[in-house]
Structure 1
Amino acid sequence: MAKNTSSSAFRKINVDQYNEDNFKEDEIDSNGTVYTGPDDAEITKLLNTGKNVEALKLVLENAPLTSKNQQAKENARQLTLKVLLSIKGNQMDSAITALNDVDLVDVLMKYIYRGFEFPSDNSSAHLLQWHEKVYARYGVGCIMRVLTCTNRA
């Protein structure tokens, strides 16, 4: 009936690895380079050639959400807002449709809210249009996932 409790195998587990306050170095790619977010030159090249939707997908796929490097997050925020502001109002629906992954839509919504925190000239009106279009397509779910997520953009 009673199990053998004299076993001490459970004491060999390192419980400190599960502590979220442990210090970790910046994320390192398989190549040995520090992860810094989306490539500014590549995004700018796509924007200059008129491939705004591809630039949006690329910047959202490479968002440094889990990075501790605040400079990389700030650079990614500025670059994402540059891409969002380059897409016209009549192109927004096709850009949102091209984001066929819900995770990318959630990252987009994170950057929209982040853009509201640091407004620039006429960015708030444009971001409100983005918010309206994303909400119309994906509903309240994407807003709730962003508001409850601990990884900030």
Structure 2
Amino acid sequence: MAKNTLSSRFRKVDIDEYDENKFVDDQEDASEQQGPDATEIDSLIRQGDVMSAFHMALRNPPIHAKNPAVKRAQATVLRVLTSFRGGEIEPAVRSLDRNGVDLLMKYIYRGFEKPSENSSAILLQWHEKAFAVGGLGSIVRVLTARKTV
């Protein structure tokens, strides 16, 4: 008998680690992702700096958050989106990278789920501009994403 068969080193390998059918969802710390700071964003909107408020609102999205305080990020982002004028929307969307456009689309679709007064018309304008920048791929990525806002 060969000496290699007497080795028990192979028994320390966890074969379940290499199983393709075993799915483990990524758990992210809820402490890192608290959502945007609504007071800072409101002060930026009052000062007229809506572009900075827009980027700040999209900077720290609460993904898979169960805390209702964190879920207020949707209302904050919707408040930022409604503060833009029609001509300011396209430059704001063009200033985002691909992931930023996808995140914006997630917020737009979340806004369509729970419409408020006059929000649907504004969200349709944002959707048109985001679709022009992100294309059909952005919509597909948002609709098939596991991580939602």
The normalised TM-score by structure 2 is: 0.82
- Residues 1:135 and 2:131 aligned together: yes
Match for residue 61 of structure 1?
59
Q: How far did residue 69 of structure 1 move?
A: 2.6
Partner AA of 2:56 in structure 1: L
Match for residue 38 of structure 2?
40
Q: Which of residues 91, 95, 99 is equivalent to 2:92?
A: 95
Q: 2:54·2:80 contact (CA, 8 Å) conserved in 1?
A: yes
Q: 2:62·2:71 contact (CA, 8 Å) conserved in 1?
A: no
Deviations 1:107-130 (A, max 9, x none): 100000000001011100110011
Q: How far did residue 142 of structure 1 move?
A: 0.8
Deviations 1:59-103 (A, max 9, x none): 1111112x433414421000000000111111101111222x111
Segments of structure 1 that go 5 or more residues without pairing to the other structure are 30-34
Partner SS for 2:62: coil
Partner AA of 2:12 in structure 1: A
Moved more, 111-120 or 136-145: 136-145
Segments of structure 2 that go 5 or more residues without pairing to the other structure are none
Q: How far did residue 12 of structure 1 move?
A: 9.4
- Residues 1:79 and 2:96 aligned together: no
Distance 2:109 2:15 in 1: 44
Partner AA of 2:124 in structure 1: L
When the two chains are superposed, the root-mean-square deviation of aligned CA atoms in Å is: 2.6
CA 1:55/1:9 → structure 2, altered by over 3 Å: closer, same or farther? same
Partner AA of 2:141 in structure 1: R
Q: Which of residues 93, 104, 108 is equivalent to 2:104?
A: 108
* Percent identical residues: 41
Q: 1:37·1:62 contact (CA, 8 Å) conserved in 2?
A: yes
Q: 1:116·1:127 contact (CA, 8 Å) conserved in 2?
A: yes
Q: 1:64·1:72 contact (CA, 8 Å) conserved in 2?
A: no
